[in-house]
Amino acid sequence: MRLLVLGGTGFVGGATVAEAVRRGWSVTVFNRGVHGAVPPGVHRLRGDRTAPDGLAALAGGEWDLVVDTWDSAPRAVRDAARALAGAVPHYAYISSGSVYAVPVAARVGEDAPTVEASADADGGDYAQCKAGGELAATEVYGERALLVRAGLILGPGEDIGRLPWWLQRVARGGDVLAPGPADLPVQYIDVRDLAAWTLDRAAEGVGGAFNVISHPGHTTMGELLDTVVAVTGSDARLRWIDPASILAAGVIPWNDLPIWIPEGHEFRWLQERGVQKAYAAGLTCRPVAETVADTWRWLRAVGSVPPRAGRPARAPVGLDPAREVRHQPGQQVRLGRVRAQPHPGRYAGHGQRDPQVEQRRAAGHPHTPPARVGRRQPAGRVGQHLDPAVAQPQPPRLGVVQGWRPHRVHGGGPQVGRGVADVHGSCSSPVGPAPLLPRRPAYPHRPPAGSAADRAGRPEPSGPTALRPVRPPPAGPDRVVGTFGPCIRPGVTGRKGR
């Protein structure tokens, strides 16, 4: 069998060439020759299909079938199909399930309407380009055009990085944000299964549109991520999070958390397409364990996700590590440059006065902090478990310790910005560990070194790490402990009491 592949060095094109070579076919690729290599024995023709006379290298050639993976201007598909109409009897165009016009019903079939597009267009978005490419191939080849509407494509050589992102993230270890539910069905196609089915049907002369993707639920998010953990040999711990909480935090399915699209989402149909026609035409899909293991083996060999062949670089997929920490339950935030929550006994925020403080001040309470209006809340100086809407977290660096509980100041609970971690209600939670504190305990009212208060016997941390909870300084002649935490008597140390 004589095969011509337009492209042939990218993700799907490369897998198609590799499968044809494995079968012993005679393979020719046509591309600009500036990206990637071809296997030994593959003939390469060079040309730019978007340039005038860019298809000249195809003149005089004869092949049994052609596979085209083009995803840009439909006009290029039309021109190539016209140039090959007399030399190739069958045209297979790798399209996409994205061509369906929204709203798209679950289990959508091949007869559903597609987005508006034109075979003569010079551009458009991804869906319009693929739909226009289908029109261009059909315009020239009619029923001899095979339209392969692929779904989510995974496997070795992936140049977008969805499965590679999960593999690399899990390989780093630690707590991994796992988007729930664990039994969420996942629908995808291994690139090698896609290539094999396309060559089989094209060689048989089959035409028409097919949704080429696995059955919905071929695997689940739980099975997929468990397999990733097993394949990488990582000690990572999957922390399953309710989808509502993830969406409320602004995490974008499919992009921030690759592959994952929760139930009820507007794009859930991308993993719920009807596939009866493709399975009836001989589609088979390998187990997810094989796809994950082979992708991990390939990723370790190449080191990173390769650039897309002949296409502009796209934004990387996957959550930034800082955002991932932010959305995990019971997880700590990296210390420093984090805005603390307003302290209930001091002031509620910028330009506001706390009514409880005002009431105590009016009653002449001896240890009420003075009014502090118009100042911003101080940055947190101790490990804090903050609300995601308040904190701007960064990746933790200090690790965690189980069973740590905050020290309670006499007459009050844990307080922010007063030398005690604001972890009330979270340290004892079974879903996540409590944070460690910084190397040196923070004393917001620290007296000058060498003063009487400094010589009062306050213990200092010791050891290589000295990571220990902050405790209030002991009461003495120069300080008192009141309802709002440790205070320093005015005039004794040269600093104003608060």
Q: Following CA atoms 346, 348, 349, 351 in sequence, which dihedral angle do they give, to the nearest 10 degrees?
A: -90
- Residue partners of 181: CB distance under 8 A and separation at least 6: 221, 222, 240, 243
- Residue partners of 81: CB distance under 8 A and separation at least 6: 91, 136, 137, 139, 140, 141, 145
Longest dimension (CA), the chain: 101
Instruction: Quickly count: other Cβ atoms within 10 Å of residue 457's Cβ.
Output: 8
Q: What is the SS3 string spanning 26-87?
A: EEEEEECCCCCCCCCCCEEEECCCCCCCCCHHHCCCCCCEEEECCCCCHHHHHHHHHHHCCC
Within 13 Å and on the Cβ side, how many CA atoms surround 334? 12
Q: What is the SS3 string spanning 451-491?
A: CCCCCCCCCCCCCCCCCCCCCCCCCECCEEEECCEEEECCC
Residues 335 and 481 in one domain: yes
| Number of domains the chain contains | 2
**DSSP letter (8 states) at residue 396:** -
Residues 271 and 349 in one domain: no
Residues 184 and 42 in one domain: yes
Domain edge (last residue) among 261, 293, 326: 326
Short-list 105, 107, 321, CA closest to 215: 107
Q: Where is pLDDT greater, at 298 or 403?
A: 298
Q: Are strands 189-190 and 153-154 parallel, antiparallel or unpaired?
A: parallel
- Domain range for 285 is 2-326
Q: Where is pLDDT greater, at 372 or 283?
A: 283
**What is the rounded average pLDDT for all residues in the chain?**
78
Q: Is the pTM of this model over 0.85?
A: no
Residues 320 and 335 in one domain: no
Residues 121 and 103 in one domain: yes
Q: Convert the pLDDT of each residue in 11-57 to its tens digit.
A: 999 999 999 999 999 999 999 988 888 999 999 999 999 999 999 99
Helix axes 221-232, 288-302, angle to 10 degrees: 40
- Residue partners of 312: CB distance under 8 A and separation at least 6: none
Residues 230 and 311 in one domain: yes
| CA end-to-end distance (rounded Å), the chain | 86
496 alpha-carbon distance from chain centroid: 49
Please give the average per-residue pLDDT across 251-265, as a whole number.
Answer: 95
Indicate whether 106 pLDDT > 60. yes
Here the CATH number for the domain that contains residue 67 is 3.40.50.720
Please give the average per-residue pLDDT across 147-156, as a whole number.
Answer: 98
Q: Convert the pLDDT of each residue in 164-221 to its tens digit.
A: 999 999 999 999 999 999 999 999 999 999 999 999 999 999 999 999 999 999 999 9
Residues 89 and 107 in one domain: yes
CB 424 within 8 A of CB 495: no
Paired tokens of 60:
């005089």
Indicate whether 59 pLDDT > 70. yes
Residues 118 and 251 in one domain: yes
C-alpha 47/C-alpha 184 separation (Å) is 45
* Cα torsion angle, 344, 346, 352, 357, sign: positive
C-alpha 444/C-alpha 460 separation (Å) is 15
Residues 292 and 411 in one domain: no
Distances in whole angstroms, Cα of residue 178 to Cα of each of 159, 166, 224, 431:
23, 10, 11, 14
Residues 211 and 160 in one domain: yes
Domain edge (last residue) among 326, 355, 390: 326
Indicate whether 91 pLDDT > 80. yes
Residues 296 and 345 in one domain: no
Domain edge (last residue) among 293, 308, 326: 326
Residues 352 and 455 in one domain: yes
